[in-house]
Each structure stands twice: as structure tokens, then as C-alpha cells.
Chain A
């Protein structure tokens, strides 16, 4: 009987210790691969620009793409994005491109006009890059755009993650095209998602 009581006590203690160990293991278990991945993804900051309503109908398009079609880039190595536009037959003499991006993840390096007769003026704003371009006075040739590359923008990534570049309205500024009658055309715009590894 005395032995039975001892066995009961020892058994109970072992059971208790096992339970405690189990609880500790469950509370402090290392993250699984899936959890690791999901926590990394959730820590990636994506830009969240606040869109401004455009009270005008859109015409034509202004798109953004990665040069060479690559959407994965190594960290700390410069990358380029290309802004192109179609003007639906209109002769464009000036344009604005408002490109929002995550400034905590990228450093703006430079812009390069892809049209020799357009001068591009770039302004780095707190949450976006504003580009304003004007056609040379010497060129009066009418050249409607069809997926015409306008400007290449070079960035240097600062950290890994997935990030979005958008040609979205910011504050008072909106991407726009100005035709040869000084009419303003608001093109449809899009966004580009890049992964930095």
C-alpha cells in the first residue's frame, strides 16, 4: 500500500512536470518556416499614398514598368523604372509625372528623359517624386505618343521587401499631359510592384 502511494505521488509529479514542460514548449516554441516567412512579409512596408480625386475624365495612359521587365532586384544596387505614355492621338508639349514610392526603402538617384526634345525637371517631395517636363521650343513636330517611353527614374534600394511605385495624385499634384492647345489631359495611371531581396 505504501509502495502504491509512492508510485501515485511519483507518477503525479512526473505528469505535472511533463505538463509544465509541454506548456513551456508551446509558449516559447521557435517560429516555423511559415511563420518566419509571414512575419517577414508583414514587416515589409508598402507605400500607402492617399489618392486625390480627379474631377476630370481620363484620356490616354501613363504607365510604369521596370526596365527589362525584371521585378526582383538585389538590395543596395541601383534599379531603374520607366514611365511611358500614350496620348490617344494628341500632340503633347508638356507633362507632369507624380511618382509615389516608399522613401524609407529607396533613395532617389536621378531621372533621365527618354525623349531628347523634352527637358525634365525633378522635385523630390516628402513622399513622392514630382517630374515636370516641357518640350523644346525648337521642335514643333506633332508626334502623338503610343507607349512612348518618357523618363527613366533611378532608385537605390535601402532594405528588402516588396514595394509599390504608383503614378498617383499626391496633394495638389496629378500626373497630366498638356497638348498643343494647352488643354490638360489626365491619363489613366498604374502601379508597379518590385521585390528587393
Chain B
């Protein structure tokens, strides 16, 4: 009987061991297939454990699992500080988020008459993951969108948009894994504010799911994430502190968009005095930088030429004042020039290039003298459109229309506006081949 039990024990041990060895690898394969190969699996990040071994967390909608990263493969941007939900060092007056990342969506319906509007958002992104944080205005389709990047402090973003008369939804979205604080979501058309409680000063009294109040006049969604609203806090002291911080930070960040007028002066390559056959041209102008999420739309501006060959025109925009703007100029036969300085200059024609915007723009009139740099010619209109490149069409057109004085051909190929397509035009377009591309 005793021997029988021992034999049985040995057999069982062997059987269990075999099962263990056979199914251990299979189990791992199933785990990987189930979770890691999922398209919904979020980006993995490395975090430091207690030892030097790094693990990565694969966020798969709550079904996360851990696996070895393999000798430091990948490192988190915050220096291995783990899945910190603060994304850096938040100001002391803003408590670190405590809740796990869950998409926070708020919406408000607004009725807009047909017209032009500006969507303005004052926000601070503390963590951008997955879809990030953003604000949209949509009426069947999205007509305005502002993405909220990670910033050390609150910043104001504006984007102009046009709307036909109708009902639009303004949505604040903080996608899974992202975190942001919002202090203002505004739609203005002229002097009219179309968003109710745009700065979240009116706070609902009843606490929500994460013990912070929700701003009033914003629709209740499935996810009541009032936490993400800058001023939607339960604590009056915290509200006051944050209000104070916001007002002090407003000195370093832009304020709400304002009507600005740019009085521009330009010099075109090949035009040194008032040309014979043109005294007005249409030039496209747009603004980038300045804390805006995206460059503005082009404004087509009439420019008139003076006796000194300097062209003058005025462009109007509705943007926040600031000192980090870039101005993009695109002439009718020209490569686009990006200008980052209020009064730029260059030692040789066409050699001015810049990186970060340093153009200061204030509400009202602004004078920007770009007449000490040349707008290079060469991107000729083909069927009325320019393609942003000096290419075979441009050089070939000038070459094949040399000595032409036909008005239709002059309109395209007379680069110096002297009433003739000649060798100078050909040399100008060849010179522009050295640059070849629009500056972006």
C-alpha cells in the first residue's frame, strides 16, 4: 500500500512537471496575442522598478500587462519616474491629478449665425498621450479644432473659423492617458460671446464623481471630469489661489484674440524702381507662431508700389497679441518667404532665412518693414495656381516665352514687370532655383 502510494506520487509529479513544461510557453503566447497585439493597445512606457530591471506597461484599456523591456529598451520622458500623471512639475496651486486617465468629454451646444468667429482656449496640458486633449467646434463636421500641447503654464490658443447659421457643439475632450486644465473656452464673433460660462466661474454646487465640482452650463456627459477645469474646483481657497495664479500668468501668456492690422512693406526680386506695367499686385499673407496651434489662413492683400520699388499693403487678422509671430509672404510669381523679424535685413539678395518667430504684434496697427529683404521670384502660376516649387514648368515657361510682350504671357512670365519676358526674367528664375522651395 505504501509502495503503491509512492509510485502514484512519482507518476503525479512527473505528469505535473510535464504539463508545466509543455504549457508554460503556450501561456505566454496567448497572453501576448490577447493583449499586446491589440490595435487599441496604447504606447508602452518604461518605468523603473525597485531594482535596475525596467518593465514596460502596455495600456490596453484596463487589461494592462507587464513584460520585460529587455535591458533598458525605451525610457520614459520623465526620467523613469513611472506613470506620473502630472507630466512634470505642476504649479503648487494645482493639485496633482489623482484619478486614472479616463476620457473627459464636455459639450455645450451653441447657436451661431452665419459669420466669422474665433475659438479661443486657455489651457495647460500636463500630459499628452493617445488622442491628447483638444477642443472642437462641430456642426456635422469639425469647423474648428485646437490641440492642447504640454506646457509649463497656461497658454492661450486661438483659431479663426467661419460658420454657416446653425447649431454647433463645442466639445472639450481629454483622451485616455492625457491630462489638461482648462480655464477658458470661448467662441467670439465680433464682441459677442457665444459660449455660456466660458471661463468656468459658475460652478455647480453638487460634487461630482471625483469630488470636484463641474462648471455649470456645460452639458453632463457620461464622464463627469470636472477635475480638468481650471476653475471648477470645490475648494473656494483653491479657486481663489488658482484665479490669482491665472491672472499673474496672463502677463506671460497671450490674451484673447484681437483685431490686428499689419502694414507691410515688401521688395520683390528684380524690381528696383516703380515698374512699367504694374502698380498693384495681389500677395498672400498669413501668420504663424504666436502660440497659435496652427498658422492662420492666407489673406490676399493688394500691394501698391512706390517710386522706390517698395510695395505696401495692409493685412488684417484676428489673433492674440504676442511677440513670437512669423509672417509668411507669398507673391503672385514668387516663392513663399518666412519672416521672423519686424525689420529683417540681408547682406545678399534672397539670403535671409529664419527659424523661430520674433515678430511682435499688438492689437491695432503694426508696421512690418520687409523691404530690406527680397521676395524671390520663380514660382509661376500654372492654370492660375502656384505649386510652391521652382521647377521645369517655371524655367521652361520663361525660356519658351522669351521676347514675348503678350499680356497673357506677361501676366505669368514677366517677373520684373518691365513689359517684356527677357533674359533678366530667365536669369531671375535660374537664380531662384538655388532656393527652389517655399519656406514653411
Contact A134 B397 (CB under 8 A): no
Known interface pairs A12-B14, A96-B392, A173-B389; A184-B399 also in contact (CB < 8 Å): no
Known interface pairs A5-B7, A137-B426; A132-B391 also in contact (CB < 8 Å): yes
A115 to B307, CA, bound (A): 45
| Stretch in B17-25, B149-157, B289-297, B298-306 with 4+ CB within 8 Å of A | B17-25
Contact A19 B433 (CB under 8 A): no
Q: List 14 A-B contacts (CB under 8 A).
A: A12-B10, A15-B14, A19-B21, A94-B399, A96-B391, A96-B392, A132-B392, A134-B430, A176-B392, A176-B393, A178-B396, A182-B397, A182-B400, A184-B393
A44 to B145, CA, bound (A): 40
Contact A176 B391 (CB under 8 A): yes
- What 10 new A-B contacts, CB under 8 Å, besides A93-B396, A132-B391? A12-B11, A23-B21, A94-B392, A132-B395, A132-B436, A134-B392, A176-B391, A178-B400, A182-B401, A184-B382
A173 to B25, CA, bound (A): 51
Contact A9 B392 (CB under 8 A): no
Q: Note all chain B residues with C-beta closer than 8 A to A67.
A: none
Residue ID in chain B nearest A180 by CB atoms: B400
A27 to B400, CA, bound (A): 71
A133 to B388, CA, bound (A): 18
Q: Note all chain B residues with C-beta closer than 8 A to A20.
A: 21
Q: Note all chain B residues with C-beta closer than 8 A to A16.
A: 14, 17-18
Mask of A2-19 contacts with B, CB within 8 angstroms, 1/0: 000100110010011001
Size category of the B interface is: 20 to 34
Number of A-B contacts (CB under 8 A): 77
Enumerate chain B interface residues (CB-CB to A < 8 A): 3, 6-7, 10-11, 14, 17-18, 21-22, 25, 382, 387-393, 395-397, 399-402, 426, 430, 433, 436
Nearest Cβ on chain A to B68's Cβ, whole angstroms = 17
Residue ID in chain B nearest A123 by CB atoms: B436
Judge if A121 is at the interface, Cβ distance under 8 Å: yes
Judge if A172 is at the interface, Cβ distance under 8 Å: yes
Q: Note all chain B residues with C-beta closer than 8 A to A137.
A: 399, 402, 426
Which interface residue of A16, A27, A179 has the most chain B CB atoms within 10 A? Answer: A16
Q: Note all chain B residues with C-beta closer than 8 A to A184.
A: 382, 392-393
A176 to B391, CA, bound (A): 9
A95 to B3, CA, bound (A): 94
Q: Note all chain A residues with C-beta closer than 8 A to B400.
A: 93, 178, 180-182
Judge if A188 is at the interface, Cβ distance under 8 Å: no
Q: Note all chain A residues with C-beta closer than 8 A to B393.
A: 94, 176, 178, 182, 184
Judge if A177 is at the interface, Cβ distance under 8 Å: yes
Known interface pairs A8-B7, A134-B395, A182-B397; A172-B389 also in contact (CB < 8 Å): yes
Q: Note all chain B residues with C-beta closer than 8 A to A156.
A: none
Nearest Cβ on chain B to A181's Cβ, whole angstroms = 7
Q: Note all chain A residues with C-beta closer than 8 A to B396.
A: 93-94, 134, 178-179, 182
Contact B397 A178 (CB under 8 A): yes
A179 to B397, CA, bound (A): 9
Judge if A135 is at the interface, Cβ distance under 8 Å: yes
Contact A177 B7 (CB under 8 A): no
Contact B25 A27 (CB under 8 A): yes
Nearest Cβ on chain A to B378's Cβ, whole angstroms = 11
Contact A172 B392 (CB under 8 A): no
Contact A178 B392 (CB under 8 A): yes
A180 to B399, CA, bound (A): 9
Which interface residue of B6, B11, B18 has the most chain A CB atoms within 10 A? Answer: B18
Known interface pairs A181-B400, A182-B401; A9-B10 also in contact (CB < 8 Å): yes
Residue ID in chain A nearest B401 by CB atoms: A182
Contact B14 A177 (CB under 8 A): no
Q: Note all chain B residues with C-beta closer than 8 A to A134.
A: 392, 395-396, 399, 430
Nearest Cβ on chain B to A91's Cβ, whole angstroms = 10
Nearest Cβ on chain A to B94's Cβ, whole angstroms = 40
Residue ID in chain B nearest A16 by CB atoms: B14
Nearest Cβ on chain A to B4's Cβ, whole angstroms = 10
Mask of A163-184 contacts with B, CB within 8 angstroms, 1/0: 0000000001100111111101
Nearest Cβ on chain A to B393's Cβ, whole angstroms = 5
Contact B21 A132 (CB under 8 A): no
Nearest Cβ on chain B to A133's Cβ, whole angstroms = 7
Contact B395 A94 (CB under 8 A): yes
A93 to B14, CA, bound (A): 84
Which interface residue of B387, B389, B426 has the most chain A CB atoms within 10 A? Answer: B389
Q: Note all chain B residues with C-beta closer than 8 A to A173.
A: 389, 391
Closest A-B pairs by Cβ, 9 of them: A178-B396, A94-B396, A94-B392, A96-B392, A182-B397, A134-B395, A182-B400, A178-B392, A96-B391
A13 to B436, CA, bound (A): 77
